[in-house]
Amino acid sequence: MENQSYFSLYNLIAGCFLVLSTAACSQTKPEGAGVDWATYLGHPTSNQYSRLDQINKGNVAQLELAWTYKTGEAANYQTNNLIVDGWLYTATPHSRVVALDGATGKVHWTFDPSGNHESLADGDQRGLMYWHDGEGGRILTMKGNRLFALNAKTGELIASFGERGSIHLGAEMDIPGKPNVTLNTPGQIYKDMFIIGANVGEDVPGAMRAFDIRTGKRRWIFHTLPRPGEFGSDTWPENYLEKTGGASDWSGLAIDIPRGIVYVSTETAGPDFYGGGRYGENLFANSLIALDANTGKRLWHQQLVHHDLWDMDIPQAPTLLTVTHEGKEVDIVAVGTKMGLLFVFDRLTGEPLWPIEERPQAATKIDEIQTWPTQPFPTKPPPLMRQEYTEEDFSTISPRAQQMSKEVFRQSENFGAYPPPSTDQTIMFPGYDGGMEWGGAAADPDGILYVNVNEIPWFYQLVPTKKADGSPLPAGEKQYLIHCASCHGTDRKGNPAGGFPSLEAVSSRLTRETVMQVMKKGGGRMPAFDQVSQSRLDAILAFLFNEEKAIGSIDNRDDNAPPYVFRGFQRWNDEEGYPAIKPPWGTLNAVDLNTGTIKWKVPLGEYKALTERGIPITGTENYGGPVVTAGGLLFIAATADAKIRAFDKDNGQVLWEYQLPAEGHATPSVYAVNGKQYLAISVGGSKLKPHPEGALFVFSLPE
């Protein structure tokens, strides 16, 4: 029996025993999670929808804390938790897997991957995979470059899977060796396979792969960066595989189980910001791709950014739903972008529901780079955020903030989401973190899609890897610029709010051995530099520790080194630390995909210090997605004010909120145990500000 058929039947039967609406037992009830939340984002369609309605508009104000579980770990806790047969499975900030009683929080078992492979680096993990064959269940989890299979009831490794219970994620990528490949977003289950994307370095070609869930052996592979002669290879220059990587899927996927189609959203090709060595459309980077889930064969694709030079990855999993379009029911796939655009396609044909326009974009003045002349824009729905910073967008928080906005605006170039590469400071708006982000979008059976959006301005600038007179930089400084500056900045100040720590005076905090280990293994948002030569790593280390004169020889000519690198991720904030733009800074949106119109839009999040000054609610930067329920509710945390809220899905009114001890940068889970409905959210991390401990918070109605 196929896994998804098993769960559909189980949820249908179990749902009949809940004290819910009588419609819960109808076989025509729409797709979505039922009693269990057994799949990442709730369902293979990634629709973040729950059929449960015990908690509804009429009683949600009574929602209270039922139990908590403290992980004891301080790192990003972004897990969308799984719940199966009354057991809750979570991946902690350090990727331990803990099985808990979904009604009480009692611990059933704990699995620590580090006990099996001590060299595994920590990194963000957003969920797990669950499979049941009718006899027993298993949990799939990942840490570092390994994926593990566990017995769902005992937490023990399944020895028949892979190499005594795990597989190396860098194996079977159709490239030499075993590169450091990780996985922050879980895949989806189809029949007896699990289908996954990957996190890869900028020099490792990406791929989609399906594996046998019993043995861990690869079933099929689709090269998201095509090999010579494959479809799409003509969108790359000669010898492109020697110069680039990436184009992978780190943000998640969706599967139409009955039709056997998997939908994939991909990132940019590497290097992210310098594209002089990869001119062309660069398929399948920045694309929505439909694949045959049985074979991995491409069915259709749509590229949403051509020749990306701005790190405009497709940041979220596609969402599958059904709408009424021009009087007919149409099964569609929708996906949002960092630019706040929603692209909507017929799920079978790949045809857009509304026309897509190719609009001209400004060309770069840097000789070594060519920009693609046009970029695609949907004619419907309208953008969910502003598409360019204008004089109307100067900050209104204070006279000083407004003046600063005006001064910087007049000193900076400004082109919207696709600024031509330049060595001058340019306003990047929409920005690198969205628009939409990895929390995903929720969709209800009425064809309404709910998604949160950021409206934060950033800066964009390239810097040369040579001195002004054309002479070479010291070896260590050059290698730092090439490999490290895009995240930690040319000034080494980093972007702590984005998960990139400062490297200033790093020698006073860390040993040389520790820094070298992090470079080799990776950790957090940093990939492992396992493809970088030891001599270059030594040069970077010498630069960070101010020991340039002591390093060994290195070929500073390095023909593969780009002539320009990215200055680093820099938010444009005012002197108080608020975004230097007129609010809103974060919004929650309901989009009617039957008509391609925005149904409602409200600010998401609040800075009390500003509202106490009489400033209307601004919304805040937000990470983590919404869940919509049959009870008419939209649950979301995500915000910088560390609250979880329930909104009326019909008008955006806040019906309930709870103050968490830290931000909930995760997508909630909704489930039921013994006839009682619960809401779970993972809390804690360092996306916007550090918090000492991750914890799981679970809510329910009072007895």
DSSP letters for 182-219: B-SS--EEETTEEEE--B--TTSB--EEEEETTT--EE
Does residue 168 belong to any structural domain of this protein? Answer: no
Per this entry, what is the length of the chain?
Answer: 703
Is 655 within the bounds of a domain?
A: no
Note whether residue 667 is domain-resident.
no
Residue position matching structure tokens 């609610």: 617
Supply the pLDDT for residue 9: 36
Question: If 0-12 CB within 10 Å is exposed, 13-18 middle and 19+ buried, where does residue 108 land?
Answer: middle
Q: Give residue for tokens 């020749």.
A: 307
Tell me which DSSP letter residue 679 carries: E
The residue whose two tokens read 């008008």 is 651
Cα 389–Cα 391–Cα 397 angle in degrees, nearest 5:
90
Main-chain dihedrals φ then ψ at residue 4, nearest 5 degrees: -70, -35
Task: Centre a 10 Å sphere on the Cβ of residue 13 and count the other Cβ atoms it contains.
Answer: 12
How confident is the model at residue 18, as a pLDDT? 34
Q: Which amino acid is at 342?
A: L
Tally of domains in the chain: 1
Rounded to the nearest angstrom, the gap between the alpha carbon of residue 503 and the centroid of all alpha carbons in its chain is: 25
Burial class from Cβ neighbours inside 10 Å (0-12, 13-18, 19+) for residue 177 reads: exposed
pLDDT at 686: 67
Q: Which residues contact 322 (CB under 8 A, 6 or more apart)?
A: 329, 330, 331, 332, 445, 447
Q: What is the pLDDT of residues 71-130, one digit of tens each?
A: 999 889 999 999 999 999 999 999 999 999 999 999 999 999 998 887 788 889 999 999
Q: Cite the DSSP H helix spans in 580-622.
A: 608-611
Cis peptide before 435 (omega within 30 of 0): yes
Looking at the DSSP assignment, which residues form a beta bridge with residue 591?
449, 598
Q: In this structure, are residues 370 and 355 in contact, taking their beta carbons and an 8 Å threshold?
A: no
Question: Please, are residues 270 and 203 in contact by the beta-carbon 8 Å criterion?
Answer: yes
Tokens of 210: 């399906």
In angstroms, rounded to a whole number, what is the distance separating the alpha carbons of residues 16 and 622? 36
The verdict on residue 535 lying in a domain is: yes
Contact predicate 556/485, CB 8 Å: no
Identify whether 517 is part of a domain: yes
- Which amino acid makes up residue 52? L
Residue 507 maps to which CATH number?
1.10.760.10
Residues of the chain with pLDDT under 70: 1-30, 496-499, 524-525, 531, 548-560, 686-692
Contact 452, 533 (CB under 8 A): no
**DSSP code string of 309-346:** -S-----S--EEEEEEETTEEEEEEEEE-TTS-EEEEE
- Report which residue type is found at 294: N
| Residue 20 confidence (pLDDT) | 33
Positive or negative: CA dihedral 574, 433, 503, 558:
negative
Q: 555 — phi, psi (to 5°)? A: -70, 100
b/e 393-413 (16+ beta carbons within 10 angstroms → b):
bbbebbeebbebbeebbeebe
Residue 266 in contact with residue 283, Cβ under 8 Å? Answer: no
Report how far apart the first and last C-alpha atoms of the chain are (Å, whole number). 38
Name the residue among 362, 558, 535 with its Cα closest to residue 460. Answer: 362
Give the strand pairing for 166-168 and 633-636: unpaired
Kind plus residue range of the DSSP H or E element containing 166:
strand 166-168
Range of the domain at 513: 466-561
Token reading at 113:
């991957």
Output Rg (C-alpha) for the chain, integer angstroms: 24
Residue 497: predicted pLDDT? 61
Return d(Cα 450, Cα 632) in angstroms, integer: 12
Q: Given this model, what pLDDT does residue 495 score? A: 72
The residues, ordered by sequence, that sit 6+ positions from 43 with a Cβ below 8 Å of its Cβ are 31, 32, 33, 49
Q: Which residues, in sequence order, are CB contacts of 509 under 8 Å at separation 6+?
A: none
Residue recorded with tokens 């780079």? 369
Instruction: Say which residues have a Cβ less than 8 Å from residue 85's Cβ, sequence separation at least 6.
Output: 36
Beta-strand runs (E) in 249-392: 253-256, 261-265, 269-270, 287-292, 298-303, 319-325, 328-336, 342-346, 356-360, 374-378
Please tell me the number of Cα atoms within 13 Å of 396 on its side-chain side.
13
pTM above 0.85? yes
CB atoms within 10 A of CB 56: 19
The answer to whether residue 496 is domain-embedded is: yes
Rounded distance between C-alpha atoms, residue 524 and residue 123, angstroms: 4
CB 629 within 8 A of CB 491: no
pLDDT at 689: 67
With both helix axes pointing from N to C terminus, report the angle between 534-544 and 512-521 in degrees, rounded to the nearest 10. Answer: 130
Helix, strand, or coil (residue 629): strand
Helix (H, G, I), strand (E, B) or coil at 587: strand
Q: Is residue 503 part of a domain?
A: yes
pLDDT score at 558: 54
Instruction: Evaluate whether residue 147 is within a structural domain.
Output: no
Neighbouring-strand partners of residue 109: 99
By CB neighbour count within 10 A (0-12 exposed, 13-18 middle, 19+ buried), where does 74 fall? Answer: middle
**Nearest alpha-carbon partner for 192 in 216, 208, 170, 167:** 216
